[in-house]
Amino acid sequence: MTELKGALIGCGFFAINQMHAWNDVEGAEIVAICDRDPERLDIVGDQFGIARRYSDAEALFADGGFDFVDIATTVQSHRALVEMAARNKVPAICQKPFAKTLSDATAMVAACRNAGVALMVHENFRWQTPIQAVRTALDAGAIGTPFWGRFSFRSGYDVFSGQPYLAEGERFIIEDLGIHTLDIARYILGDVSSLTARTRRVNPKIKGEDVATILLDHESGATSVVDVSYATKLSKEPFPETLIELDGAEGTIRLSQGYGLEITNAKGTTRTDVSPKLLSWASRPWHNIQESVYAIQQHWVDQLKRGAEHSTSGADNLKTFALVEAAYDSASRGQTIDVGAML
Ligand code: NAD
Ligand code: 89V
């Protein structure tokens, strides 16, 4: 199979997962890396045996020699780096959150479209094995037409030790984690016409909100609740599981803690273990996320080779990003937001 050559920008905490996954992906290899922090550049370069190392992204693009770029930096640099990729006619993957604002995200999509290059947002949660299992059951008609859903991520896990910047932003849980949960809600129940949100900060040591409850009106007529919390101390820590409840005209689906999938309909109830695989380089409890990193990167390569649209293309992700902005707007104004009018 033809090997696509890739370059990775941003050698931080999460990029380690992406580099491991690139080793497993068929049809692509990373040939160059870039980070403005020389220590991170050396750690990742040495661990993964990458000789071509750059401290400046402009210099990386000037030297070229790769077919795509994987942007794994934090959000502040996403717009500049995606636009740099577009100017250099290089297809790009960009980590979530896609951008700082919806207008930045819209400009990034336009830049890649005008340059004729593919753009995919690394919105990996919909690629998790349990989420895919829910979607497969729905598509098979297991519960008929869904009319109600709940997408829930409630945890007391210390995310700040690995990602200290999460404690420092004015915005926290919706922008960082809720963005995944909102994307899952869209993936399962379709696009959203309006939403209403409430937020709270419980942990006094962080700047942003760590609890959010969001009511979504889907274009299909279904209603759902997205509820996320990093202030929820449970006897058994569920991080990083998204739990799902779906009620349909002909049955129900429940994805519960421990990766159990229960489907009830006229035929009775079935229970299946939909645990993610523990990849050779993965570790619990992150293995669910790590497996989805591999899955989305393989999808990137497969679709790029076919010239086909990616599931989480930049254009698709505008609809998820709009939900993030709408949720903050709704929480601050205490009003329901018309999401359709934002796009
Ligand atoms: P990090 O701060 O640990 O790493 C970012 C790295 O990028 C740093 O080493 C920094 O020096 C480098 N960098 C920043 N701007 C640069 C630039 N212009 N040029 C070159 N290097 C630059 O951050 P992280 O925790 O690895 O997060 C990175 C991104 O991954 C964030 O957007 C975060 O939201 C996302 N993330 C996604 C998931 C997921 O499951 N999809 C999980 C964790 C983090
Ligand atoms: O997926 C993420 O973006 C991570 C985490 C799961 C820890 O919130 O920041």
Residue 285 Cα to ligand 2 middle (Å): 12
310 CB burial (10 A radius; 0-12, 13-18, 19+): buried
Asked if residue 228 has its Cβ within 6 Å of ligand 2, the reply is: no
Domain locations along the chain: 4-117, 126-283+320-342
Q: What is the pLDDT of residue 1?
A: 55
Q: Which ligand is nearest to the CA of 292?
A: 1
Residue to probe by mutation, ligand 2, list 180, 239, 286, 324, most atoms within 8 Å of CB: 180
pLDDT digits (tens, 9 = 90+) for 209-224: 999 999 999 999 999 9
pLDDT digits (tens, 9 = 90+) for 282-307: 999 999 999 999 999 999 999 999 99
Asked if residue 338 has its Cβ within 6 Å of ligand 1, the reply is: no
pLDDT digits (tens, 9 = 90+) for 248-277: 999 999 999 999 999 999 999 999 999 999
Residue 13 Cα to ligand 1 middle (Å): 7
Residue 15 Cα to ligand 1 middle (Å): 7
Per CATH, which fold does 4-117 belong to?
A: Rossmann fold (3.40.50)
Q: What is the ipTM of this complex?
A: 0.99
Q: What is the pLDDT of residue 274?
A: 98
CATH 3.30.360.10 fits 126-283+320-342, yes or no: yes
Mean pLDDT of residues grouped by 10 in the chain (343 residues)? 91 98 98 98 98 98 98 98 99 98 98 98 98 98 98 98 98 98 98 98 98 98 99 98 99 98 98 98 98 99 98 98 98 98 96
Asked if residue 248 has its Cβ within 6 Å of ligand 2, the reply is: no
